[in-house]
Chain A
Amino acid sequence: MNKYLARLAALALALMLVLSACGGTPAPTEVAPATEEAPAATEEAPAATEEAPMEEQFVFGMLMVGPYNDNGWSQAHYEAGLYVEEKLGAKMIYLDKVNPADRPGTTPDQLAEELVAQGAKLVIFNSDDMKDASTTFAKANPDVFVIMASGDQVWADGQAYEEISNLMNIMGRMEYGKMIAGCAAALSTETGKIGYLGPLINDETRRLAASAYLGAKHCWEQAGNDAANLEFKVTWIGFWFHIPGVTTDPVQVSNEFYTTGYDVVISGIDNPVNLGEAQKQTSEGKPSFGVAYDYVAACDAAPDVCLGVPYFNWGPDYMNAIKSAQDGSWKSEFLWQGPDWADINNHDTSAIGFVKGNALGADAATALDAFIADLAGGLNLWTGPINLQDGTAYLADGEVGTDQQVWYLPQLLEGMEGLSASE
């Protein structure tokens, strides 16, 4: 019997090891009350958006790849949902942590059907990771409207075009946001070494990392430095956020950057964990900075080391799409929405924006404003000559990248360190 007990104990120990090793992202996010909301977003006066109240409240569903309060990608979507609720009087139902590590045994199309069962007439799939599932779902449920954020299935000029009349693609032109982020980094680095914390590798992440590089190079040269002295390195972790045992740990990657001379790390993943590491380094006497990503208030995680955050403002586009689903004017289309250059931080009009962080110096802030003004005035950094990482020509001298060329950037750019594709 003792042997039996010993085995049971061994098994229990083993199970504990396993459960602690593959527990996915920390669990308690759903139970925890959303304390750090701080919706700086919805303060502005609603400009004549109130229409006659609907006879029946429109219910829309949202599937988020990460926790709804991740201080990044998913939270930006969640708050856009709250924005739509407020402006349209619609109701959001949602499910977060929709990824195979956190919800084993499920598929996003199955979970979308759960939202439909609860009354959703429209479902937002918020991640590239759900692209195939959104196609499956949209085809199987032709009477439900589908928004697939960041995808390109219904881009008639895209490489993956499919006619799916109940599906719409929405994405912000974050290329501008990343250029501004890269510029802020270049204006702040002392060592001339900028790290980029990359998620997984695909078209989207390549073009965004490359945009950050273009912005950094531009501002670095504008400040009178030689581009040859600028190092820009991308390290990919393998997914949009850390999944223990599956992806590389972004905290470790940030630490690696900061301890090898990279004093600015730009986050390209779904949350700003690089900021925590920057703060740690700074408190140990080694000034380090980070640029956050995705969510307007992401700098709040560590304001004193944050140079700023390029963020998505999904609210206005989601509102228009949901409105069109309600009033019958829905059109399956691919929307790649730029900033409102009159005010990139206008939450009712601009699809992307940039908030400066406390750590950005006064001179750098002035230079950054000038850069933003240049972009607003028509400066396009996707203008040749630009070579791909392996040296092949991408854009000839004076050639301006088309939407297709930029969206489907096949490699990182010449001058960037890091993998262009998987090994």
Chain B
Amino acid sequence: MFKKQLISLLYQIGALLLAFGVVSLILLSVGASPWDAYRNMFTGSFGSMRKFAEVLVAFVPLLLVTAGLLATFSSGLWNIGVEGQVVLGAIATTWVYRFFLDSGLPPALIITLAILGGMVGGAIWAALAGVLKVFGGVNEIFGGLGLNFVATALTIYLIFGPWKRPGVASMSGTVPFPDEFSLPQLAALRISPWALGISLVGIVVIYFLLQGTYFGLRLKAVGKNFRAAYLLGIPTWQYSMYSFLVCGALAGAAGAMQVAAVYHRLIPSISSGYGYLGLMVAMLINYRAVWAVPVALFFAGLNIGSIQLPILMKLDSSLSGVLQGVLVLFVLLAAGVRQKFSKKA
């Protein structure tokens, strides 16, 4: 058992080294020093309290999305529609805010309602992908992808249409909400401890749901072998739907955080690509919840640290995305290689 784990670790370290190797070659090919690039990215993300707070701002939605995806991956579903579920969460949150803005209710209550609204919005959007899958036979990858585009289109329609700023038609977004409707932030830092808390609760709930409950066990049974689970009497399609709903609610919470704690309004790219990035994190951790926090933190750090590249080295900051993608590819590749060898052995 121990030996198996060690081998697995070696493969993953190998994948990590390969990924950094490839990205270093790319950097060398444009005449930049890989060492400087990695160092700048590191100090740019973990070099000061303020920077670490920015990393946490990105970490919050990423962790929520990853947590949600653990539920759908466990039941064997590739919920690529998670991106749209984040967007719908943001839209629903904005809607609740707009609805109650002048109601005179205490801001704390409105913020709570808005976040819950976001979770409902995300869950509904996920349920659509689920219905398409379960009753329509549409593969959730393509159903989800289609719904992602619809979600973006809906955002743009709302921003340019019913929710536009007076006299303005711009993708800059809706009118920002007054300060008291934001999740409270730490003094001089942009991170809201509430948002951080919500994301940590999200992953802990998922961890126990998957590890310690009958529900989680059934979910995994459905994921491992749909037919066998069915024959054993598990209501399989219901469990597929449950996993969509759980994932959608968490993705919706991520969207709610983007509105309530980061942008304070709806903007066209409100999801910031965290849905897709969360897919990468979930694949990288091979669906083990304990790894979600460090890996999501690492990816968030890359996102924030890479801002230093254009400022200090005139490099494109999309390099962090290249590194993330290459990393996932090599880890998957390493898993495949390992499987092949262990079969032969």
A245–B58 Cα distance when bound, in Å, is: 23
Would you call B142 an interface residue if the criterion is a C-beta within 8 Å of the partner chain's C-beta atoms?
yes
What count of chain B residues pass the 8 Å CB interface test? 54
Interface residues of B in 30-58 (CB under 8 A from A): 30, 44, 48, 50-51, 54, 57-58
A113–B308 Cα distance when bound, in Å, is: 12
A421–B167 Cα distance when bound, in Å, is: 6
Residue-wise interface mask of B (166-183) relative to A, using a CB-CB cutoff of 8 A (1 in contact, 0 not): 011111100010000000
Question: Which 3 residue pairs spanning A and B have beta carbons closest together?
Answer: A422-B169, A200-B170, A105-B272
Instruction: Please state if A105 and B273 are interface contacts (CB–CB under 8 Å).
Output: yes
- Specify which chain B residues have a CB less than 8 angstroms from the CB of A30 in the assembled complex: 310, 314-317
Instruction: Please state if A110 and B268 are interface contacts (CB–CB under 8 Å).
Output: no
Instruction: Please state if A129 and B172 are interface contacts (CB–CB under 8 Å).
Output: yes
Extra contacts, 16 of them, besides A14-B80, A423-B161 (Cβ < 8 A), are A15-B279, A18-B83, A27-B316, A95-B311, A100-B269, A103-B317, A104-B272, A110-B190, A118-B312, A132-B176, A200-B169, A238-B169, A238-B171, A421-B164, A421-B168, A422-B168
Would you call A419 an interface residue if the criterion is a C-beta within 8 Å of the partner chain's C-beta atoms?
yes
Would you call A8 an interface residue if the criterion is a C-beta within 8 Å of the partner chain's C-beta atoms?
yes
A419–B160 Cα distance when bound, in Å, is: 12
A19–B145 Cα distance when bound, in Å, is: 12
Q: List 22 A-B contacts (CB under 8 A).
A: A7-B141, A11-B141, A11-B279, A18-B145, A28-B316, A30-B316, A30-B317, A31-B30, A31-B314, A104-B269, A104-B273, A110-B54, A114-B307, A115-B311, A140-B188, A201-B167, A201-B170, A238-B170, A239-B170, A243-B171, A243-B268, A246-B156
- State the A residues within 8 Å of B (CB): 7-8, 10-11, 14-15, 17-19, 21-22, 27-31, 93-97, 100-101, 103-107, 110-111, 113-115, 117-118, 128-129, 132, 140, 200-203, 236, 238-239, 243, 245-247, 410, 419, 421-423
Interface residues of B in 268-282 (CB under 8 A from A): 268-269, 271-274, 276, 279
Would you call B332 an interface residue if the criterion is a C-beta within 8 Å of the partner chain's C-beta atoms?
yes
Q: Which residue of the partner chain B has the closest CB to A245?
A: B152
- Specify which chain A residues have a CB less than 8 angstroms from the CB of B142 in the assembled complex: 10, 14
A17–B156 Cα distance when bound, in Å, is: 20
- Specify which chain A residues have a CB less than 8 angstroms from the CB of B316 in the assembled complex: 27-31
Interface residues of B in 171-215 (CB under 8 A from A): 171-172, 176, 188, 190
Task: Give chain B nearest CB distance to A75 CB in angstroms.
Answer: 15
Instruction: Please state if A247 and B171 are interface contacts (CB–CB under 8 Å).
Output: yes
A238–B268 Cα distance when bound, in Å, is: 11
Q: Which listed residue, B48, B78, B83, B317, touches A7 by the CB 8 Å rule?
A: B78
Would you call B263 an interface residue if the criterion is a C-beta within 8 Å of the partner chain's C-beta atoms?
yes
A18–B73 Cα distance when bound, in Å, is: 20
Interface residues of B in 294-315 (CB under 8 A from A): 303, 307-308, 310-312, 314-315
- Specify which chain A residues have a CB less than 8 angstroms from the CB of B188 in the assembled complex: 140
Q: Which listed residue, B51, B172, B271, B308, touches A200 by the CB 8 Å rule?
A: B172
Would you call B286 an interface residue if the criterion is a C-beta within 8 Å of the partner chain's C-beta atoms?
no
A422–B78 Cα distance when bound, in Å, is: 38
Q: Are A14 and B145 CB-contacts (below 8 A) given A27-B318, A30-B315, A246-B156? A: yes
Instruction: Please state if A410 and B167 are interface contacts (CB–CB under 8 Å).
Output: yes
Task: Give chain A nearest CB distance to B17 CB in angstroms.
Answer: 23
Would you call B24 an interface residue if the criterion is a C-beta within 8 Å of the partner chain's C-beta atoms?
no
- Specify which chain B residues have a CB less than 8 angstroms from the CB of A15 in the assembled complex: 80, 276, 279
Would you call B63 an interface residue if the criterion is a C-beta within 8 Å of the partner chain's C-beta atoms?
no
Instruction: Please state if B170 and A203 are interface contacts (CB–CB under 8 Å).
Output: no
Instruction: Please state if B168 and A202 are interface contacts (CB–CB under 8 Å).
Output: yes
Task: Give chain A nearest CB distance to B128 CB in angstroms.
Answer: 17
Instruction: Please state if A113 and B50 are interface contacts (CB–CB under 8 Å).
Output: yes
Task: Give chain A nearest CB distance to B169 CB in angstroms.
Answer: 3
Q: Which residue of the partner chain A has the closest CB to B153?
A: A245
Instruction: Please state if B171 and A422 are interface contacts (CB–CB under 8 Å).
Output: no
Interface residues of B in 245-291 (CB under 8 A from A): 262-263, 267-269, 271-274, 276, 279
A104–B170 Cα distance when bound, in Å, is: 17
A252–B145 Cα distance when bound, in Å, is: 26
Task: Give chain B nearest CB distance to A247 CB in angstroms.
Answer: 7
Q: Which residue of the partner chain A has the closest CB to B44?
A: A114
Residue-wise interface mask of B (115-127) relative to A, using a CB-CB cutoff of 8 A (1 in contact, 0 not): 0000000000000
Instruction: Please state if A100 and B268 are interface contacts (CB–CB under 8 Å).
Output: yes
Q: Are A422 and B164 CB-contacts (below 8 A) given A105-B274, A111-B307, A201-B170? A: yes
Task: Give chain B nearest CB distance to A73 CB in angstroms.
Answer: 15
Instruction: Please state if B169 and A419 are interface contacts (CB–CB under 8 Å).
Output: yes
- Specify which chain B residues have a CB less than 8 angstroms from the CB of A247 in the assembled complex: 171
- Specify which chain A residues have a CB less than 8 angstroms from the CB of B51 in the assembled complex: 117
Would you call B74 an interface residue if the criterion is a C-beta within 8 Å of the partner chain's C-beta atoms?
no
- Specify which chain B residues have a CB less than 8 angstroms from the CB of A132 in the assembled complex: 176
Instruction: Please state if B311 and A10 are interface contacts (CB–CB under 8 Å).
Output: no
Q: Which residue of the partner chain A has the closest CB to B53?
A: A110
Instruction: Please state if A114 and B169 are interface contacts (CB–CB under 8 Å).
Output: no
Instruction: Please state if B303 and A105 are interface contacts (CB–CB under 8 Å).
Output: yes
Q: Are A103 and B311 CB-contacts (below 8 A) given A201-B170, A245-B152? A: no
Task: Give chain A nearest CB distance to B52 CB in angstroms.
Answer: 13
A95–B315 Cα distance when bound, in Å, is: 11
Q: Which residue of the partner chain A has the closest CB to B306?
A: A103
- Specify which chain B residues have a CB less than 8 angstroms from the CB of A21 in the assembled complex: 149
Would you call B94 an interface residue if the criterion is a C-beta within 8 Å of the partner chain's C-beta atoms?
no
A105–B271 Cα distance when bound, in Å, is: 8
A22–B58 Cα distance when bound, in Å, is: 19
Q: Which residue of the partner chain B has the closest CB to A199?
A: B170
Interface centre among B54, B170, B267, B271 (most CB of A within 10 A): B170
Instruction: Please state if B148 and A18 are interface contacts (CB–CB under 8 Å).
Output: yes
Q: Which residue of the partner chain B has the closest CB to A141?
A: B188
A27–B318 Cα distance when bound, in Å, is: 8
